C-alpha cells in the first residue's frame, strides 16, 4: 500500500491524493476494522473500500497515528 493524504468528512474519506491527482470518493462500498496481530505489535487499522471515477480503491487508516494508505483494487 502507498502512503496517501486523505480528505475526511464525518470520519469518512471523501477524497484522496493518488499519483499527484485528487480523486473524489463517489461511494464507500465496504468498511471494516482489524485489530492486527497485537502479539506482533501490529497496529489496528480501519479499512474503506471506495468507488471513484478512476476505479475501486482500498483505503487503510492506521488507528494509532491516523496515517492513511491506499491501493487500487482490481
> How many structural domains are present in the chain?
1
Residue written as grid cell 497485537: 38
> Is the pLDDT at 1 greater than 90, yes or no?
no
pLDDT tens per residue across span 2-26: 999 999 999 999 999 999 999 999 9
Domain range for 14 is: 2-73
User: How many C-beta atoms surround the C-beta of residue 2 within 10 A?
Assistant: 10
Q: CA torsion sign, 27 to 17 to 2 to 8? A: negative
pLDDT tens per residue across span 23-71: 999 999 999 999 888 788 788 999 999 999 999 999 999 999 999 999 9
Residue written as grid cell 489496528: 44
- Say what the pTM is: 0.91
Question: Which backbone phi and psi does 38 adopt, to 5 degrees?
Answer: -60, -30
Measured distance CA(30)–CA(48) in Å, rounded = 6
Amino acid at each position: 500500500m502507498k502512503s496517501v493524504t486523505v480528505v475526511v468528512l464525518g470520519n469518512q474519506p471523501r477524497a484522496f491524493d493518488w499519483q499527484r491527482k485528487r480523486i473524489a470518493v463517489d461511494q464507500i462500498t465496504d468498511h471494516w476494522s482489524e485489530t492486527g496481530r497485537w502479539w506482533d505489535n501490529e497496529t489496528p487499522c480501519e479499512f474503506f473500500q471506495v468507488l471513484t471515477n478512476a476505479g475501486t480503491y482500498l483505503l487503510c487508516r492506521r488507528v494509532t497515528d491516523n496515517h492513511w494508505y491506499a491501493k487500487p483494487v482490481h
